[in-house]
């Protein structure tokens, strides 16, 4: 789950100062682009609507384009230290925050729930809420029983037992009821518990829209490619000084063609491909991506052995 200390950046940016290394006050420490999608949602834009299958592409929608520009202008003006996102190895290019960085996005399971004696507490807050949308970027972890299991009943009992003990894990519980579990609350730092409860309220807000993990963290092939073209447009505007309208239109054309091409294909989870060398399931997706954007051919062909 992506939570952050962003505390109304656009309104409070004048009070924020660069880090000791001269970096912008907001530094992307994750490198997956999800923080930008959440901020864009707060500004009233939803360039990718993950509530539909396949996701709906709305890069050039007036409200999306306006929100995108407002957020990316923060990067162009030096308030956000922006790292390239529209490349396939973006994680290696992430700018890390230092101990004087004012604002940075962080995974919620990176927070220390159990604090040592006299330690300073982690104090983090959610992204600003929007009037039309609240973006919520998060992933769910789960336990599964293999179809080849010799003792599925025992596996189920073990998973059920673990599910009743959220204090054993670093992540936020998936069940609302566990947030008030006495063992869990007793073992969790009050500041982190308050953050969990705030996120629980956010999830139940009818204005909240789910956002999938961005960039290379996104295991769903269709979403991964759609985000790639959107982030490529971001890079052209922020890093290359290009025309945002033209960049978004180009990205919209490519993403829409890809969605049309893959609409009848079975869903593809990229994380399953790393478990073996058989890449045949990805070939049809690669073909669609290359039809939409032939510049990807020298990058994607080697991935499927061509």
Cross-strand bridge partners of residue 26: 80, 103
Mean pLDDT score of the chain: 81
pLDDT at residue 294 in the model = 95
Q: Architecture of domain 1-141+189-243 in CATH?
A: 3-Layer(aba) Sandwich (3.40)
Compute CA distances 248 → 34, 54, 154, whole Å.
Answer: 18, 19, 52
Write the pLDDT tens digit of every residue in 235-250. 999 999 999 999 999 9
pLDDT at residue 9 in the model = 42
Write the pLDDT tens digit of every residue in 195-223. 889 889 998 999 999 887 665 556 677 88
When mean pLDDT is compared across 77-91, 96-110, 170-184, 215-229, the lowest value belongs to 96-110
pLDDT at residue 64 in the model = 97
Compute CA distances 120 → 113, 115, 180, whole Å.
Answer: 12, 8, 24
Asked if 200 contacts 8 with a C-beta cutoff of 8 angstroms, the reply is no
Write the pLDDT tens digit of every residue in 266-288. 888 777 765 556 677 789 999 99
pLDDT at residue 169 in the model = 82
Cα–Cα distance, 248 to 59 (Å, whole number): 6
Question: How sure is the predictor about 12, in pLDDT bands with cuts at 50, 70 and 90?
Answer: very low
Helix (H) or strand (E) holding 209: strand 208-211
Q: Where are the domains of the chain?
A: 1-141+189-243
Q: Which residue has the higher pLDDT, 234 or 174?
A: 234
Q: Is the pLDDT of residue 85 over 80?
A: yes
pLDDT at residue 120 in the model = 44
Asked if 61 contacts 249 with a C-beta cutoff of 8 angstroms, the reply is no
Q: Which of 28, 37, 105, 24 is nearest to 71 (CA)?
A: 37
pLDDT at residue 255 in the model = 97
26-27 and 48-49 as β-strands: parallel, antiparallel, unpaired?
A: unpaired
Cα–Cα distance, 127 to 135 (Å, whole number): 8
pLDDT at residue 95 in the model = 63
* Beta carbons within 8 Å of 115's beta carbon, 6+ residues apart: 121, 189
pLDDT at residue 93 in the model = 55
| Predicted TM-score (pTM) above 0.85 | no
DSSP track, 50-88: TTSSSPEE-TTSHHHHHHHHHHHHHHHTTSEE----SST
Give φ, ψ of 19 to 5 degrees. -70, 175
Maximum alpha-carbon separation in the chain: 61
Centroid of chain to Cα 138: 7
Query: Token digits for 148?
Result: 């080849």
pLDDT at residue 268 in the model = 82
When mean pLDDT is compared across 5-14, 175-184, 266-275, the lowest value belongs to 5-14
DSSP one-letter code for 120: P
> Percentage of the chain with pLDDT > 70?
76
Asked if 289 contacts 296 with a C-beta cutoff of 8 angstroms, the reply is yes
Asked if 47 contacts 38 with a C-beta cutoff of 8 angstroms, the reply is no
Dihedral of the alpha carbons of 146, 150, 156, 162, in degrees to the nearest 10: -80
Q: Is the pLDDT of residue 290 over 90?
A: yes
Most confident listed range (25-39, 56-70, 189-203, 264-278) = 56-70
Average pLDDT over residues 74-78: 88
Cα–Cα distance, 90 to 80 (Å, whole number): 17
Cα–Cα distance, 76 to 239 (Å, whole number): 8
pLDDT at residue 116 in the model = 42
Cα–Cα distance, 121 to 117 (Å, whole number): 10
Crossing angle, helix 244-262 and helix 62-76, to 10 degrees? 120
Write the pLDDT tens digit of every residue in 102-160. 677 776 665 545 444 444 444 577 887 888 999 888 777 788 899 999 999 999 999 99
């Amino acid at each position: 789950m992506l939570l952050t200390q962003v505390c109304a950046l656009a309104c409070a940016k004048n009070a924020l100062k660069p880090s000791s290394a001269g970096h912008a006050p907001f530094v992307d420490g994750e490198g997956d682009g999800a923080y930008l999608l959440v901020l864009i949602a707060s500004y009233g834009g939803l360039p990718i609507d993950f509530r539909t299958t396949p996701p709906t592409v709305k890069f050039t929608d007036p409200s999306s384009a306006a929100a995108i520009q407002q957020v990316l202008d923060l990067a162009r003006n030096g308030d956000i230290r922006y790292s390239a996102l529209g490349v396939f190895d973006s994680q290696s290019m992430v700018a890390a925050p230092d101990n004087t960085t004012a604002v940075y996005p962080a995974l919620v399971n990176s927070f220390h729930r159990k604090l040592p004696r006299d330690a300073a507490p982690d104090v983090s807050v959610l992204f600003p809420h929007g009037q039309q949308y609240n973006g919520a970027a998060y992933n769910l972890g789960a336990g599964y029983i293999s179809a080849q299991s010799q003792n599925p009943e025992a596996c189920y009992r073990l998973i059920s037992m673990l599910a009743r003990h959220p204090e054993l894990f670093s992540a936020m519980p998936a069940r609302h009821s566990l947030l008030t579990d006495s063992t869990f609350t007793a073992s969790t730092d009050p500041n982190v518990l308050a953050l969990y409860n705030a996120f629980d309220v956010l999830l139940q807000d009818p204005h909240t829209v789910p956002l999938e993990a961005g960039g290379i963290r996104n295991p769903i092939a269709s979403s991964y490619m759609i985000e790639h073209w959107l982030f490529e447009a971001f890079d052209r505007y922020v890093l290359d000084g290009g025309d945002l309208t033209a960049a978004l239109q180009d990205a919209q054309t490519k993403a829409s063609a890809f969605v049309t091409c893959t609409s009848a294909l079975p869903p593809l989870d990229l994380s399953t491909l790393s478990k073996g060398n058989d890449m045949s399931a990805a070939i049809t997706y690669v073909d669609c991506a290359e039809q939409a954007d032939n510049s990807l051919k020298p990058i994607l062909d080697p991935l499927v052995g061509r």
